[in-house]
Amino acid sequence: MDFLSPKSFFDLASTEHAGLFADCGRVWEALGRLSAYLQAHLRPNVADVACFGRPLPETVVLWKGTLWREGFEILGGDPTRGAHRVRIEGNDASDASVLYAGCVLWDEEIFIGPGVVLEPGALVKGPTLLSGSTDVRQGAYIRGKCCVGKGCVVGHTTEMKSSIMLDGAKAGHFAYIGDSILGRATNLGAGTKLANLKIGGTPVIIRVGGEKMDTGLRKLGAILGDGVEIGCNAVTNPGTLLGRNAMVLPVSSVKPGYYPPESLVR
């Protein structure tokens, strides 16, 4: 079943975190390797913030390995387009990361890439890797064991745990992302829920045609191939696999199983 391999869901040649999927026969196996991947690749860089488990009392800037508490000017812009402009002592520093007053870093096991913005009220727990030009918006809750690619959005009141977002994935508003993988340029409409735990807590079974495949996982949300779009207030049930460029219409409840590329799910 080659269509269940990672290369069938994602363009790994242009994916920063392609190593997560190395030698995975089935795409969901990458989630089981996430902890080891983060342990090997996470290079925490927030120790100098020296404020953990409580809101930052002031806005700070990370730039070229240095923490700035003053001497900068924030001009704003869209972080996901690399256009969030900052000046430091008169120098352009558009690749600087901004941690606004009121955001919370729960611990030190966090990497914040260049051009990342953490808005007031966002909370991030480690281990978490935030790649460059990612926007973590007000009220976002990243619960740990997360790998977020470049140009992503973890939006307002969006909760994320034990999950992977590849470059350009966006969950802008009121989403839940649990034990899931979002491919490149995927988009979750407001209120999307990627449910990850069956009622009763039994292992997640994926149906492919007439065959049942036991993943061996008690928690498994959704696997979204590159370019998948999910409409507002949709729910995917545990063990939903959507092939590249599939589309889920708003207010849908998606049954678990495999959906081929270009599927339209009502």
Per-residue pLDDT of 71-127, as tens digits, reads 999 999 999 999 999 999 999 998 999 999 999 999 999 999 999 999 999 999 999
Instruction: State if pTM tops 0.95.
Output: yes
Q: Are 184 and 168 in contact (CB under 8 A)?
A: yes
Domains and CATH numbers, the chain: 2-44+116-265 (2.160.10.10)
Amino acid at 196: N
| Angstrom distances, CA of residue 151 to CA of 99, 100, 134, 135, 258 | 17, 18, 5, 7, 27
6 upstream amide cis, omega within 30 of 0: no
What CA–CA distance (Å, rounded) separates 194 from 259? 15
Amino acid at 80: T
* Tokens coding 138: 């007000």
User: In the predicted model, what is the mean pLDDT of residues 218-247?
Assistant: 98
Q: pLDDT averaged over the chain?
A: 96
Per the listing, tokens 């918006």 go with 137
**Model confidence at 31: pLDDT above 70:** yes
| Angstrom distances, CA of residue 148 to CA of 30, 117, 173, 189, 213 | 14, 13, 17, 18, 28
Q: How many CA atoms within 13 Å lie on the side-chain side of 263?
A: 18
**Model confidence at 36: pLDDT above 70:** yes
**Coil, strand or helix: which one is 35?**
helix
**Model confidence at 58: pLDDT above 80:** yes
Mean pLDDT is lowest, of 11-25, 139-153, 223-237, for 11-25
What CA–CA distance (Å, rounded) separates 176 from 196? 10
Strands 253-254 and 235-236 turn out to be: parallel
Per the listing, tokens 């969030």 go with 84
Q: What is the per-residue pLDDT for 189?
A: 98
What CA–CA distance (Å, rounded) separates 192 from 83? 27
User: In the predicted model, what is the mean pLDDT of residues 57-66?
Assistant: 97
C-alpha dihedral sign at 218, 43, 187, 30: negative
C-alpha dihedral sign at 60, 63, 68, 72: negative
Q: What is the per-residue pLDDT for 201?
A: 84
